[in-house]
């Protein structure tokens, strides 16, 4: 099964709420594939609170997926929360960026994960939590919140406190760094959430409704 087919299958398996007492058909809820990479900046001498360092070293906004060994992933079983379904490694599309971050001395990749979820209003949207829905990472906590009103928005609310004496950090444990930003999404363009100490690359892609899946490319 190709990547598009796998994502469509996972999207179809995300349960939609059922209201047996309501005879009126419900509006189809849009489904989304969300993928994030969280990384740490190691060369702190070049960073200032006013000007986070640019994410450099890539030939384009998305590096091609590597054909070499893939990074280790902590795969999650389907979560009891029916509106969340983790994506397996073969369905992730930003592996090239993850691999490139591993190759560059200026960065330490911390977390690469993806999932399928519905797009709901801000009042009904459910946060995706690190350590609950996503793998735990030492020193990293927080959530991702995708909501859809007239436009889609992604809120990233993370805190990162690296271990004392980590590479590129002073021996005393620094104050936790924080990103808390909500951004309107424009198609499936990559989004960068930056802080002088760490950053997030995110992509959110609307999935076709059931029955309107993408045509598999010929072999």
Q: What is the DSSP letter of 59?
A: S
C-alpha dihedral (57, 93, 124, 155), degrees to nearest 10: 0
pLDDT of residue 45 exceeding 90, the answer is no
As a whole number of angstroms, the distance between CA 196 and CA 53 comes to 6
Q: What is the mean pLDDT of the chain?
A: 74
pLDDT tens for residues 173-210?
Answer: 667 899 999 999 998 999 999 999 999 999 999 998 87
Residue range 143-155, pLDDT digits in tens: 999 999 999 999 9
β partners of residue 160 = 140, 177
What does the pLDDT average to over 93-122?
94
Q: Is the pLDDT of residue 111 over 60?
A: yes
Q: What is the pTM of this model?
A: 0.70
Show me where the domains of the chain are located.
Answer: 3-16+31-206
Element (H, E) at 204: strand 198-206
95: closest CA among 128, 62, 117? 62
Element (H or E) spanning 4, and its range? Answer: helix 3-13
- Surface-to-core class of residue 206, CB atoms within 10 Å of its CB (0-12 exposed, 13-18 middle, 19+ buried): middle
Q: Are 4 and 212 in contact (CB under 8 A)?
A: no
**What is the mean predicted confidence (pLDDT) over 108-133?**
93
């Amino acid at each position: 099964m190709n990547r598009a087919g796998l994502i469509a299958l996972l999207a179809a398996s995300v349960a939609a709420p059922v209201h047996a007492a309501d005879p009126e058909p419900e509006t189809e809820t849009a489904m989304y594939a969300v993928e994030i990479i969280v990384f740490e900046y190691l060369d702190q001498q070049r960073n200032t609170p006013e000007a986070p360092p640019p994410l450099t070293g890539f030939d384009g906004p998305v590096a091609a997926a590597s054909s070499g060994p893939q990074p280790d992933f902590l795969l999650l079983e389907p979560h009891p929360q029916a509106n969340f379904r983790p994506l397996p490694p073969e369905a992730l599309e930003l592996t090239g960026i993850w691999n490139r971050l591993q190759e560059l001395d200026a960065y330490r990749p911390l977390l690469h994960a993806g999932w399928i979820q519905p797009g709901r209003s801000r009042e009904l949207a459910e946060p995706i939590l690190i350590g609950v829905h996503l793998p735990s990472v030492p020193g990293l906590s927080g959530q991702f919140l995708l909501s859809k009103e007239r436009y889609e928005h992604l809120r990233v609310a993370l805190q990162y406190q690296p271990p004392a004496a980590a590479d590129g950090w002073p021996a005393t444990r620094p104050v936790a760094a924080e990103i808390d930003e909500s951004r309107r999404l424009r198609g499936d363009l990559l989004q960068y959430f930056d802080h002088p100490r760490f950053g997030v690359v995110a992509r959110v892609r609307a999935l076709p409704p059931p029955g309107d899946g993408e045509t598999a490319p010929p072999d």
